[in-house]
Structure 1
Amino acid sequence: MNNKYMYSSASNVLFDEKMKELGWIVFEDALEEDFVNEINMYLEQAYEIRRQIQLDNGIGEQTKGTLHHLVGRNDVSVDFLARGYCDAQIRHFLEGNYILNSLGAVINIKDNHPYVQNIHRDIRSFTGPFKVMIQMMVLLDDFTLENGATYFLSGSHLQDVKPGEEEFYTHAERAVANKGSLVLFDSNLWHAAGNNRTDRPRRALTMAFTRPFFKQQLDYPRLMGYDLAADLSPYMKQILGYNSRIPSDLYEYYQPVEKRMYQPGQG
């Protein structure tokens, strides 16, 4: 079953077919190798910062190799977001404007067993045909059977039943693809990271995009600073959540339409 396509060639019709039938699709060779290498260098420092916080807070064992909320001013992650990868497909899937719910990464190393290797889906509530969230995974190394290519149970996004381990691992397909490829998948799809049996890390960016009314995992506009909005493109203001903020007092609430924190078109 082929669900791999060159990044520039996937139409919305083709995208719809694969997302409805399988729940996931691979866009091969979407990122240039130099940019992938730049992201990997950035992850080294970003992981050190987050790892210390994980250890300080007593959650080091289950969070090995995981990096959350890679969003900040003048960050590589902002450069990545500004490129608008799969914007047309995400906008089509969510039927309009969308925002970033979370952006993180996984560094899968040999025989490490973080929580992402559990069979899971990335949204608690089963939403059926009403789609509120879509996931993106950016392959920063070649994904192979040996280094833990992600398992996807194709079609499992169509029912609200968690598969048992035997069913899952018997029928799940693997996201074997080249470094620089993108994977989009329905957030209702059951999946799990594989076990890396090699001596080299298997790295990936992981992110979720939602309809704008869905609460972000971290308040990115507040993190980045409200003053940054003036320097952002309309696209970046939208996906970072600057157009769907929540007023904190009546002075912020009672504003002309153009100054409101929650802008039109975010429903």
Structure 2
Amino acid sequence: MSTFSTHHETELTSQGWTVVPNLVQSDLIDTLNNALVPSLARRDAIRLSNGVMQDCGGTAHHVLADDPCYVQLLSCFEKVDPLFKQFFEGSYILNSYGGFINEFDAKTYAHHVHRDIRFHSNAKRFMLNTLVMLDDFTVENGATYILSGSHHQSDKPDDEAFFQQAARITGQRGSLLLFDSRIWHAAGTNRTNLPRRALTLTFTCPFFKQQLDYPRLFGYANARECSAYLRQVIGFNARVPSSLEEFYVPVEQRFYQRGQD
């Protein structure tokens, strides 16, 4: 059943963000919270080994294949598929899938004023950010700052003006925050003794390169087990063939399917 309603599209267009409440069931949220801790530990071990731990505490990138619950969550996004298709005016795919554990007084790159697409365009919307609240988001535990309407602002606002004017996005766990990736935003500082956890997924037009090769990570052989929605969103319909044998195949078997524009 779709949770899409017209006011979400109106808010996404006018203010640049909207919150869809109660997208994810409580039991799945519990499972995701349990999975996020080992996912973060695995990435911290790699970053420590490679000497790239600076300014990234609590962030876990590309968790899709870590645990079945992450795929289960991605399936939940089919409920807002009409809204996503309106935003992109067509098909879309997963660009990144990460998690964030915001601990007491932590400071990372996510706490700086930023946007998640490096260029500004008014001609087309290329990227959509989503944030799944795994805990209640409150002002005290670091609710996200978003400067409403700034998706039409190409230049970065100065920090003082941003933090004075930005909205704080609060909501119950299981809610979904959607925002235009052109918008200026920042993670809030957690002033409580409990972690504030979230999953952060971005989606793009299918012709954008994914931050990681999700079809290969997930496994080509596993595509047959996926729903049509998951095959599309994971990126199985927007792959690049790597050989002439993969290129010269019947239309229905092509790596890059029709409608991926």
Normalised-by-shorter TM-score class: over 0.9
Partner secondary structure for residue 86 of structure 1: helix
* Partner in structure 2 of residue 3 of structure 1: none
Partner secondary structure for residue 154 of structure 2: coil
Q: Distance in 2 between matches of 1:227 and 1:36?
A: 28
* Partner in structure 2 of residue 106 of structure 1: 100
Q: 1:73 to 1:48 in 2, by over 3 A?
A: closer
Residues 128 and 159 in structure 1, CA contact (< 8 A), matched pair in contact too: no
Query: How much has 1:222 moved relative to structure 2?
Result: 1.0
Structure 1 residues 54-63 or 196-205, which shifts more?
Answer: 54-63
**Aligned pair partner of 2:54 in 27, 50, 61:** 61
1:81 aligns with 2:81: no
Percentage identity across paired residues of the two chains: 46
* Partner in structure 1 of residue 31 of structure 2: 38
Residues 15 and 25 in structure 1, CA contact (< 8 A), matched pair in contact too: yes
> Where in structure 2 are there 5+ consecutive unaligned residues?
none
Residues 8 and 20 in structure 2, CA contact (< 8 A), matched pair in contact too: no
Deviation by residue 1:43-100 (Cα, 9 ceiling, x = unmatched): 1111111111111111213110000001117521111112224222111111121110
**Aligned pair partner of 1:94 in 88, 95, 109:** 88
1:174 aligns with 2:174: no
1:21 aligns with 2:14: yes
Query: How much has 1:129 moved relative to structure 2?
Result: 4.2
Structure 1 residues 158-167 or 148-157, which shifts more?
Answer: 158-167
Q: 1:204 to 1:74 in 2, by over 3 A?
A: closer
User: What is the root-mean-square deviation of aligned Cα atoms in Å?
Assistant: 1.4
The two structures have a TM-score, normalised by structure 2, of: 0.95
Q: Distance in 1 between matches of 2:258 and 2:67?
A: 28
Aligned amino acid, residue 40 of structure 2: Y
Aligned amino acid, residue 132 of structure 1: F
Query: Segments of 4+ in structure 1 off by > 6 A?
Result: none
How many positions carry a matched residue from both structures? 259
Structure 1 residues 147-156 or 75-84, which shifts more?
Answer: 75-84
Query: How much has 1:16 moved relative to structure 2?
Result: 2.7
Deviation by residue 1:155-214 (Cα, 9 ceiling, x = unmatched): 000121110001101100000111111100000000000111111000000010111111
* Partner in structure 2 of residue 238 of structure 1: 232
Q: Distance in 2 between matches of 1:121 and 1:111?
A: 22
Aligned amino acid, residue 19 of structure 2: V
* Partner in structure 2 of residue 247 of structure 1: 241
> Where in structure 1 are there 5+ consecutive unaligned residues?
1-6
